[in-house]
Amino acid sequence: MNSFFSECVKKLQAADIAMPRLEARMLWSEVLKCAPAEVYENASLTDAQKEQIFAMLKRRLSHEPMDKILGHREFYKADFKVNTDVLSPRPDTETLVESALNLLPINTQAKILDLGTGSGCIILSLLAERIKAYGVAVDISPAALAVAEENAEHLGVCNRLNFICADWFQSDFTALIADKFDIIISNPPYIPSADIEKLADEVKNYDPRTALDGGADGYDSYIRIAELAPIILKNGGLLILEAGYNQAEKIRQICENHNMSHLQTIKDLAGINRCIIMKKAVAEPKKI
Ligand SMILES: C[S@@+](CC[C@H](N)C(=O)[O-])C[C@H]1O[C@@H](n2cnc3c(N)ncnc32)[C@H](O)[C@@H]1O
């Protein structure tokens, strides 16, 4: 290990960064334009490269998240642009993508609505895997939608995706959407407002508050989405929701109160009930 590399590792270690060597490799890989696994720790760097690494290291030592420093992050099978306007995509959310893909045949022409698209990680991963599907991505934040649009271009799915800047609490939301969908998928904000201050600095200082704050008990957006889903979904359509820790059962009840039937709850890799799949009942034939 050369001395500059070991200096980086030691500084990260001293700042209580959990995987200092891996993170040092990530910084080097960004500058050397290679994968972290390809970083040769004895590589000699130019002064300009060292300065670049040092500038990023300084930000990391003040606990700015690595992906926000690098400006991108891997999610599912692609690399997504991220910045402070969007929630950093989390590995837990890949459970939603995998669950949806399991329900979507390869040649599906399904119409999918992503509520709270952020970086676009969910809908873009789905459209990249199901090349005849069509999507609509909604977010209240124009800045987040700008990031999602860049990511859509990068993944080559723009021609099958529309972006709508809207607030799902607005009274004319369904009129604005003006379509019926096979699937609604959403990872809405679900942290109770009072808990946001207790989150790690990496989260509360760098992820947008609108992406985190789920109202007093964390369920405000679920209640609204459950209310909207039966109107926006086609008969037999699916609502796929991400849940926070210990929230799955209550979310299921909220949806059942809006005439949706429970299909499945799926655990993430940590064994937490992460993804709830609800189905809109097929309308009963009118009695004559
Ligand atoms: C938890 S983030 C999820 C982002 C992305 N889908 C993901 O899984 O990484 C929630 C997103 O919902 C958006 N959002 C929050 N409240 C909203 C509302 N009332 N109407 C529309 N979008 C909203 C936020 O701007 C944020 O991008």
Instruction: For residue 236, give the 3-state DSSP assignment.
Output: strand
Tell me the CA–centroid distance for residue 259 and ligand 1, in Å. Answer: 24
Tell me the CA–centroid distance for residue 170 and ligand 1, in Å. Answer: 15
Tell me the CA–centroid distance for residue 144 and ligand 1, in Å. Answer: 9
* 119/86 Cα distance (integer angstroms): 6
Q: Which residues contact 177 (CB under 8 A, 6 or more apart)?
A: 113, 136, 138, 164, 166, 232
Tell me the CA–centroid distance for residue 135 and ligand 1, in Å. Answer: 16
Instruction: Write phi, then psi, for 74 (nearest 5 degrees).
Output: -75, 135
Tell me the CA–centroid distance for residue 63 and ligand 1, in Å. Answer: 23
Instruction: Write phi, then psi, for 85 (nearest 5 degrees).
Output: -85, -10
Tell me the CA–centroid distance for residue 188 and ligand 1, in Å. Answer: 5
* 91/269 Cα distance (integer angstroms): 9
Q: Give the residue whose CA is nearest to atom 10 of ligand 1.
A: 211
Tell me the CA–centroid distance for residue 52 and ligand 1, in Å. Answer: 33
Q: Where are the alpha helices (DSSP H) in the chain?
A: 3-14, 20-32, 47-61, 66-70, 94-103, 121-129, 142-155, 173-177, 201-204, 209-212, 220-232, 248-256
Q: Is CATH 3.40.50.150 the classification given to domain 85-280?
A: yes
Token pair in block for residue 70: 């690098």
Nearest ligand 1 atom to alpha carbon 186 = 6
Nearest ligand 1 atom to alpha carbon 167 = 20
* Ligand 1 pocket list (CB less than 6 A): 87, 89, 93, 116-119, 121-122, 138-141, 144, 167-169, 187-189, 210-211
CA–chain centroid gap for 158, Å, is: 18
Domain boundaries, the chain: 3-62, 85-280
Token pair in block for residue 34: 């290679």
Token pair in block for residue 211: 């992406």
Token pair in block for residue 161: 């995706």
DSSP assignment of 153-198 equals: HHHT-GGGEEEEE--TTSTTHHHHH-S-EEEEEE----B-GGGGGG
Token pair in block for residue 232: 């926006």
Pick from 81, 99, 117 the residue to mutate for probing ligand 1's pocket: most ligand atoms within 8 Å of its CB: 117
* 52/50 Cα distance (integer angstroms): 5
CB 222 within 8 A of CB 251: yes
Tell me the CA–centroid distance for residue 191 and ligand 1, in Å. Answer: 12
Instruction: For residue 92, give the 3-state DSSP assignment.
Output: helix
Over the chain (288 residues), what is each successive 10-residue block's mean pLDDT? Answer: 87 94 94 89 89 96 96 97 98 98 98 98 98 98 98 98 98 95 98 96 96 98 98 97 97 96 97 98 64
Q: Give the residue whose CA is nearest to atom 26 of ligand 1.
A: 211
Token pair in block for residue 51: 């300065």
- Separation of first and last alpha carbons in the chain: 81
User: How far is CA 188 from each of CA 35, 120, 211, 243, 268, rounded to the nearest angstrom?
Assistant: 32, 13, 7, 9, 17
Nearest ligand 1 atom to alpha carbon 88 = 9
* 209/232 Cα distance (integer angstroms): 27
Instruction: Write phi, then psi, for 265 (nearest 5 degrees).
Output: -120, 130
Pick from 141, 161, 173, 247 the residue to mutate for probing ligand 1's pocket: most ligand atoms within 8 Å of its CB: 141
CB 31 within 8 A of CB 41: no
Q: Give the residue whose CA is nearest to atom 2 of ligand 1.
A: 211
* 166/176 Cα distance (integer angstroms): 8
Tell me the CA–centroid distance for residue 72 and ligand 1, in Å. Answer: 18
